[in-house]
Amino acid sequence: MSRKQANIRTPLGIATIIGDKHGIQQIKLDEVSVESSEIPEVLESAVLQLQQYFSGERQEFDLKLNPEGTDFQKKVWKELSYIPYGTTHSYLELSRKLGDEKAIRAVAAANGKNPLWIVVPCHRVIGIDGSLTGYAGGLHRKKWLLELENPPLQQSLF
C-alpha cells in the first residue's frame, strides 16, 4: 500500500499528514499547500484527532505511528509521548529519563527531528530555565501550543 497524504487547515497553518496502513509517518506544517478536498480513509482518524486537539476536545492522541528515524531518535520520540498535556519538561529532564544526562545535545537534536508534529509533543520540551528554546515550527507556534494546553487564568475585574 502506498503512502497517502492529506492537508488540513489548523490554527497554525496547513498541516500535511502522511501515512499508510502501517501508521502515520509524518505530520508537518506546510504553509504553501492547499486543503485536501478528500481525506484518505487511512488518515481519517489522524485528521479527526488533530481537529479535536485544536478545538480543546482532545488531550491525548490514539494513533498508530510509524515514524522514520534512528533507534535513538525513536527512543526520544517515545519518551516525548509520555509528557502529559499541559506540562513541560526540560531537555535535561528528558535526557535523565533516557538514562544519560550527558546526552542532552543528542536528545535536543532528536527532538528537533521529530516528524510527528503535535502528536508527539516536542513543543512541551523547554530550556532548564523555562525558556522557549528552538522549535522547528517556530517559537511563536510553540508558545501558541503551550498556551492552548495551559491557558492563562482569567483575572476577575471585581
pLDDT of residue 121: 94
* pLDDT band of 1, cuts 50, 70, 90: low
* C-alpha distances in Å from residue 6, one per residue of 30, 41, 65, 74, 144: 11, 10, 16, 24, 23
CATH 1.10.10.10 fits 71-149, yes or no: yes
Length of the chain: 158
Please enumerate in sequence order all residues whose Cβ is within 8 A of that of 57, keeping only pairs 6 or more positions apart, or say none. Answer: none
Question: Is 122 a known active-site residue?
Answer: yes
The end-to-end CA distance of the chain, in Å, is: 61
Cell numbers that stand for 43 in this block: 488518515
Domain borders along the chain are 4-54, 71-149
pLDDT of residue 150: 87
For 44-83, write each residue's pLDDT tens digit.
999 999 999 999 999 999 999 999 999 999 999 999 999 9
For residues 77 and 114, the answer to whether their CB atoms sit within 8 Å is: yes
For 6-57, write each residue's pLDDT tens digit.
999 999 999 999 999 999 999 998 767 789 999 999 999 999 999 999 999 9
**Which tops the pLDDT comparison, 22 or 117?**
22
Of the listed 65, 122, 126, 145, which one is catalytic? 122
Name the pTM for this structure.
0.89
Beta strands 23-29 and 4-10 are unpaired
